[in-house]
Amino acid sequence: AVRLVFPLFIFGMLINQIQRAEASARRIANLLATEPRVKDHHQAVALAEPPAKIVLREVGFAYRATRPVLRQIGFELRRGRVLGIVGPTGAGKSTLVKLLLRYYDPHEGEILVNDQPLPRLKLADYRRHVGYVSQDAFLFYGTVAENIRLGSPEADPAAVRQAAEIAGAAEFIEQLPEQYDTMIGERGLKLSGGQQQRISLARAVLRDPALLVLDEATSAVDTRTEELIQQNLQRMKDGRMTVAVAHRLSTIRQCDEILVLVEGTIAERGTHEQLLAQGGVYAGLWRVQSGALGQTEPGQP
């Protein structure tokens, strides 16, 4: 999967918090330097209200002119709704996420946020309301609590604990040598991939964003824990729009709408039940995965 950058707007804050960890800072700076910079339009307008509606109309995008990566993508996202995106490797899922985060602007069609074209909004304004969790968790050298508080420096310990709870991280954190004060990240205690992902998710949950984007955010978490996390996320979906990209269909099963992306276009769409009834790509994947899950679950960590 594609590595994405840590949102620019917390970068300043981040530098403050991690003066101890120059290596980490250097890593982020390198990432930022390699990501495309979308600039504010000269007449960029402020976002009056937190995003509550996002509409994509016939969106198309290509990294190289000769090869379209996304074609004719259309959907509508409203506050309280959860959108799932599935599809084979290279289908364009992460690219679609990048458009939603506005790392790129579409080449065709449009993205409207609260009825305004996204490229016309002040980027920092928009990004302030967006929480993003990728498969590659970013942790810096600092305590567990500091890592979760990144982006919400004013949060109190109870709020940090609650976010960890929702992200399915509280249990393992409480078993660490110094719980929330345990040093992690580079030079700190080494966490498993699934544990890192849950810290990263707790961070996004704590920020309480209007748009929460999860790109394979729990891919390294065992299926039982992931189910608990999904239930928790369902409970906190009301105040926000959620977009979840996953290979594992059980992750997105409960979404209000699921898009099946194949070679850059929406091949199928609907709820889990509707897609099963269609008997297409999704139904085929589900048969394979539910069978495979049944066999491997007992051995999961």
Q: Output the smallest distance, CB 258 to ligand ATP, in A.
A: 14
Residue 87 CA to residue 269 CA, distance in Å, equals 11
Paired tokens of 129: 């309301």
Site for ligand ATP in 61-100 (CB under 6 A): 63, 69, 87, 89-95
Paired tokens of 66: 């000769």
Q: Which residue has the tokens 């709020």?
A: 159
Considering beta carbons, is residue 94 or 218 the nearer one to ligand ATP? Answer: 94
Considering beta carbons, is residue 122 or 248 the nearer one to ligand ATP? Answer: 248
Q: Output the smallest distance, CB 88 to ligand ATP, in A.
A: 7
Q: Output the smallest distance, CB 252 to ligand ATP, in A.
A: 13
Number of residues that bind ligand ATP (CB under 6 A): 12
The SS3 assignment for 131 reads strand
- Helices within the chain (DSSP H only): 11-17, 22-34, 93-100, 123-127, 144-149, 157-166, 170-174, 193-207, 223-235, 249-252, 272-278, 281-296
Considering beta carbons, is residue 109 or 188 the nearer one to ligand ATP? Answer: 109
Considering beta carbons, is residue 129 or 269 the nearer one to ligand ATP? Answer: 269
Tell me if 123 contacts ligand ATP by CB under 6 A: no
Considering beta carbons, is residue 89 or 175 the nearer one to ligand ATP? Answer: 89
Per-residue contact flags (x/-) with ligand ATP for residues 171 to 210, judged by CB under 6 A: ----------------------------------------
- 114's CB contacts (< 8 A; 6+ apart) are 47, 48, 49, 51, 52, 53
| C-alpha separations of 207 from 132, 243, 260 in Å | 10, 16, 29
The SS3 assignment for 135 reads coil
Q: Output the smallest distance, CB 139 to ligand ATP, in A.
A: 21
Sites of contact with ligand ATP (CB under 6 A) = 1-2, 63, 69, 87, 89-95
